[in-house]
């Protein structure tokens, strides 16, 4: 899902930088406005990486505490939104390292039943398929999972994902390609398929 919706890209970025400059000058209201703008997208991102809504909410709040304390570190090379996602990604990594738990990524890669009137059997089958996809996603490496979530669920272009993760565009493409190939292989012999419609390449641009 595109972030910072409601404004054009240039207008949004200019506004974001103005808010961050206010934070640098000690005006915490600027951070509050950034929080209102980006908290929903960051919460979705952290929730999918941590598979724990409570922890995701804590990490999202931590991001904006860090924005206040680190505003002076922003060098202007990346978009403010990319900088926020980078802080969130690092916070999730730190949280996972502390917890030492195998992550389960709660991504609804398959659609919900189209009609409420469908039978219980169909609903159960769809639920089983979603659970199978979740288990497969949990088997991806941390690096592949981060790139996949940013591309598939936030619709970010490869260049912006590269900024967020601190890697090259080529590395982003490689991680996503390997993630998709792993998922395809995982389901190649089962009832659930992972095809181009599920692939981040179908929704992201280079």
Instruction: Select from 162, 151, 12, 7 the least CA-distant residue to 81.
Output: 12
pLDDT tens string 49-78 = 887 889 999 999 999 889 889 899 998 888
Fold for 122-202, please state it.
Arc Repressor Mutant, subunit A (1.10.10)
Which residue is it, tokens 């490496």? 141
CB 154 within 8 A of CB 72: no
pLDDT tens string 124-147 = 666 676 677 667 777 788 899 899
Q: pTM of the predicted model, to two decimals?
A: 0.68
Q: CB within 8 A of 20, min separation 6: which ones?
A: 30, 34, 67, 71, 74, 80
Domain ranges of the chain: 9-99, 122-202
10 burial via Cβ count (<10 Å: 0-12, 13-18, 19+): exposed
- DSSP secondary-structure letter at 140? S
CB 80 within 8 A of CB 139: no
CATH number given to 9-99:
1.10.1740.10
């Amino acid at each position: 899902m595109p972030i910072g919706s409601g404004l054009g890209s240039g207008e949004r970025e200019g506004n974001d930088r103005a808010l961050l400059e206010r934070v640098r000058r000690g005006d915490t209201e600027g951070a509050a406005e950034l929080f209102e703008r980006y908290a929903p997208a960051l919460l979705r991102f952290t929730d999918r990486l941590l598979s724990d809504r409570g922890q995701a909410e804590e990490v999202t709040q931590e991001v904006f505490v860090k924005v206040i304390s680190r505003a002076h570190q922003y060098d202007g090379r990346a978009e403010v939104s990319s900088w926020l996602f980078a802080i969130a990604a690092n916070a999730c990594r730190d949280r996972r390292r502390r917890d030492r738990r195998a992550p389960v990524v709660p991504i609804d890669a398959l659609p919900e039943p189209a009609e409420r009137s469908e039978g219980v059997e169909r609903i159960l089958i769809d639920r089983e398929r979603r659970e199978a996809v979740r288990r497969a996603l949990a088997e991806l490496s941390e690096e592949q999972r981060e790139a996949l979530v940013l591309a598939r669920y936030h619709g970010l272009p490869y260049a912006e994902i590269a900024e967020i993760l601190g890697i090259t565009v080529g590395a982003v493409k490689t991680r996503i390609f390997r993630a998709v190939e792993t998922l395809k292989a995982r389901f190649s012999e089962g009832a659930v398929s992972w095809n181009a419609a599920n692939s981040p390449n179908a929704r992201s641009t280079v």
